[in-house]
A = this chain, B = another copy of it.
Amino acid sequence: MKKNIITVSREFGSGGRTIGKTVAQRLGIPYYDKELVKQVALESGFDPKYIEEQGEFAPGKTHFAFSFLGRGVPGVMGGMTAADFLWTIQHNVILDLAEKGPCVIVGRCADYILRDRTDCLHTFIHASMDFRAHRIVRLYGESEVAPEKRLQDKDARRRINYKHYTDREWGMSQNYHVCLDSSVLGIDKCVDIILDLAENCPDPTE
């Protein structure tokens, strides 16, 4: 069975975004990450910068720091927090994107949102702390915070966000069809494996 939609979940600094982008380029299909964010923003009236910053992180932190349909509103709308509202919008956008056709979607709990579709390949990319620390310093430069601390903080926020909205453990292998350690296998090998699976995944029920 061909896997039309590839979701890529990833640890910060593991190269998961690069892998997702390369897979999309090689397959000639759309890649959604910041693009997805823009689309969510257009649909919701949220400030794109707010969505980009908060879309994958722990809920309940900055409910008041956004504009909704151009108006300042408090953090709760009809019993729904701003984070919950954002989740609902992102959820629907991801379902719509999957309906439109083949694509790669990075992050945003897409593996969970699309769990019932049989034409998806759900992937998770992780890497050793050392590999990721070197990578983020090389890509994003030094900062006052040690790279290991930056990684731990970002991972923790993704883990809490994922748990909150999916009730599943972020990075637990059973949530994904394939999990790869990019620090051992290499970025290129991860791309090759995902490409092969996307195009030649057998249907064990056949």
Residues on A facing B (Cβ under 8 Å): 121, 124, 126, 131, 169, 171-174, 176-189, 193, 197, 200-204
Contacts and interface: CB of A to CB of B under 8 A. Distances in A.
A137 to B, nearest CB: 16
Contacts of A121: 184
The A interface, classified by DSSP as helix, strand, loop or mixed, is: mixed
B179 A173 contact: yes
Contacts of A201: 184-186, 189
A187 B189 CA distance: 20
Contact of A172 (B173, B177, B193, B203): B173
Given A172-B169, A172-B172, A204 B177 contact: no
Contacts of A181: 174, 176-178
Max count, chain B CB within 10 A of own CB: residue among A173, A177, A186, A203 = A173
30 contacts: A121-B184, A124-B173, A126-B173, A126-B174, A131-B204, A169-B172, A171-B173, A171-B174, A172-B172, A172-B173, A173-B176, A173-B179, A174-B181, A176-B181, A177-B180, A177-B181, A177-B184, A178-B178, A178-B180, A178-B181, A179-B179, A183-B204, A185-B204, A186-B202, A186-B203, A186-B204, A188-B202, A189-B197, A189-B200, A189-B202
Given A178-B178, A185-B201, 13 more contacts: A121-B184, A124-B179, A169-B172, A171-B174, A173-B173, A174-B181, A177-B185, A178-B179, A185-B202, A186-B203, A187-B204, A189-B197, A189-B201
Contacts of A185: 177-178, 197, 201-202, 204
Nearest to A3: B184
A14 to B, nearest CB: 10
Contacts of A189: 197, 200-202
Contacts of A204: 131, 182-187
Contacts of A179: 124, 173, 176, 178-179
